[in-house]
Amino acid sequence: MSAIDALVTSLPEGRVVTDPDVIDSYARDRTFLEPGKPLGVVLATSRDDVVTTMRWATEHRVPVVPRGAGTGLAGGATAGDGTVVLSLAKMTAIRELSPADEIAVVEPGVITADLDRAARAHGLMYAPDPSSYEISTIGGNLATNAGGLRCVKYGVTRDSALGLEVVLADGRVLDTGRRTMKGVTGYDLTGLFVGSEGTLGVITAATVRLRRAPLQAPATFAAEFGSLRDAAAAVSAIIAAGCQPSLMELLDRATLVAIDDWRHIGLEASTQAMLIGQSDAADGQEVASRMEQLCMDNGASFVAVSSSPAEAEELIAVRRMAYQAKERLGACLVEDVCVPRSALPDMITAIEATAVRHGVQICTVAHAGDGNLHPVFIFDHGTVEPPAEVWAAADEIFRHALSMGGTLTGEHGVGLLKRRWLALESGPVVTEVQHGIKAVFDPLGLLNPGKAI
């Protein structure tokens, strides 16, 4: 009996898919990367399915690629030859939602926005909200330590993760963390697994922190600027003034043009950048007015403040359209460098200069309140891999971000795409320690090989 036949036999009927066309759809994520040819796909519906799969993988020495919704932008879920894809998308139960403790226990296939909606029914919210929140899963968010639009105030996924249920490479089940807001017993294994990109274990449940939802709709503004640097300066002024926005998003003209060509948002010819901000504080309208004035003081040509929740949602929708609009232009190499907030104006200037120097189309958006920029390099759809000038421009931007005390990735993860630059940031000692940690949890190197480190 072949290894894959043994897996089919060990799991309930229908759990293992071996049809090549179906396998191919599970073998790729949202990047341009071409996957290899996996042996099959496991459609897990329970922790037991994951345990059985990992025991089988250890016995037969078959690498396993964990997968959520496949919305990743760094190649973290791209499968290689001879692997088995372990899909967790069918594990969609919210096992518990406790308003009294302000926590939820959820399986990895729960859609991020669905958890937030479930929490809102109890006057709570789930704070992390990546732009893909309507299609991305909690498991994928945990794997990459996703951030999102609200992270300027509420932090990234790790800040909401209290405990995890993890299946290790040999099929053992590890429970980390707690249900309490505080706890320092032993090493922080929860924090270690969050952001590990499926290389240390397979998360089958998470206890996450919920927060009180604002009592009133957030106040939102959108400001237009004649230069991207002026918009970045306005961000610095807003943060320095202590406004504590709950959202602060910056879009460059190339992104706005892509959105306007698609959705006809009425973009003015003079607008080079747009800043969208929000306050969910009790005095949110007053805070929004202060942010409006700071935008005007820093060169904004126009500022609109929402007067209703519907208007606010329309403004936020412009930001959430950004990536889909860029995908219409061509294949996308999406990056997510992060720099200290004070360095944001200089980093944006550097990106603009790099695009001109290399003759590359770059559309940039930023979680501006925390210095996380997403320069997206556009190239022809029919190209298997980005052309040399795109890689050269990306290399220059990465090096510039690191020279400012920044990082290669703020929330998308390393995956496959950023491994070539890892040594620039990590150094030999960090690399050695990380490989040592990997060896403790996955000594055979079966979990998502070639990713993250």
C-alpha triplet 398, 145, 392: angle, nearest 5°: 15
Closest CA to 50 of 183, 159, 166: 166
Contact by Cβ (8 Å): 305, 286: no
Q: Which fold has domain 94-212?
A: 3.30.465
C-alpha triplet 286, 288, 292: angle, nearest 5°: 115
For domain 330-442, say whether CATH 2.60.120.10 is its number.
no
Q: Which fold has domain 216-324?
A: Alpha-Beta Plaits (3.30.70)
pLDDT of residue 381: 85
Cα distance between residue 377 and residue 255, in whole Å? 11
Q: Check if 3-87 and 330-442 are the same fold.
A: no
Size of the chain in residues: 453
* SS3 at position 397: helix
Q: Could you state, in order of their start, the residue ranges of all structural domains in the chain?
A: 3-87, 94-212, 216-324, 330-442
Q: Which residues pair with 17 in a beta bridge?
A: 41
pLDDT of residue 312: 87
> What is 3-87's CATH number, 3.30.43.10, 1.20.970.10, 3.40.50.300, 3.40.50.1460?
3.30.43.10
Question: Other CB atoms closer than 10 Å to residue 379's CB: what's the count?
Answer: 19
- Sequence-ordered list of residues with C-beta below 8 angstroms from that of 246, at least 6 positions apart, any chain: 150, 152, 153, 154, 218, 278, 279, 280, 281
pLDDT of residue 174: 98
Residue corresponding to tokens 């937030």: 116
Contact by Cβ (8 Å): 380, 330: yes
One digit per residue, pLDDT tens: the chain, 453 residues?
A: 799 999 999 999 999 999 999 999 999 999 999 999 999 999 999 999 999 999 999 999 999 999 999 999 999 999 999 999 999 999 999 999 999 999 999 999 999 999 999 999 999 999 999 989 999 999 999 999 999 899 999 999 999 999 999 999 999 999 999 999 989 999 999 999 999 999 999 999 999 999 999 988 899 999 999 999 999 999 999 999 999 999 999 999 999 999 999 999 999 999 999 999 999 999 999 999 999 999 999 999 999 998 888 888 888 899 989 999 999 999 999 999 999 988 998 999 999 999 999 999 999 999 999 999 999 999 998 787 899 999 999 999 999 999 999 999 999 999 999 999 999 999 999 999 999 999 999 999 999 999 999
Handedness of CA 106, 210, 129, 213 (dihedral sign): positive
* SS3 at position 403: helix
Q: Which residues pair with 249 in a beta bridge?
A: 276, 367
Cα distance between residue 112 and residue 125, in whole Å? 11
Give the C-alpha distances (Å, rounded to integers) separating 329 from 22, 218, 268, 355, 394. 27, 33, 20, 16, 18
What are the structure tokens assigned to 229, written together?
Answer: 């640097």
For residue 62, which amino acid is it? Answer: V
pTM over 0.75: yes
φ and ψ at residue 220, rounded to 5 degrees: -125, 145
